[in-house]
Amino acid sequence: MAIEMLYFAWVRERMGRAAETVTPPSTVATVAQLVDWLAARDADSGTALADRARLRAAVDQAFVAMDAPIAGAREVALFPPVTGG
């Protein structure tokens, strides 16, 4: 199923894009697996997503842990820890 990926801050810069539509295989069930799958696509994505400890995620605009399921997700965002305020 197609997922709209969004990237913010240095994730966006390192990915070289702010958004993309991806269609991972059905074996990709969690956010962490989605990150692994994206990182394995090409060297640039692999480098951009290498620092897993500093990656955070939202599924359909709700902050989630990396082991959260993505079944039925329409939008997944990846970004660094937030620094607003």
CB of 9 to another protein, least distance (A): 4
Selected from 16, 20, 52, 63, the binder of another protein by CB under 8 A is 63
Asked if 37 is part of the footprint of another protein (rule: CB under 8 A), the reply reads no
Residues 6+ apart with CB under 8 A from 6: 18, 19, 75, 76, 77, 78
> Which of the ranges 19-27, 43-51, 54-62, 64-72 carries the binding residues for another protein, by CB under 8 A?
54-62
Within a 13 Å sphere around the CA of 12, how many CA atoms are in the beta-carbon half?
8
The residue range among 28-36, 38-46, 55-63, 65-73 that interacts with another protein, by the rule CB under 8 A, is 55-63
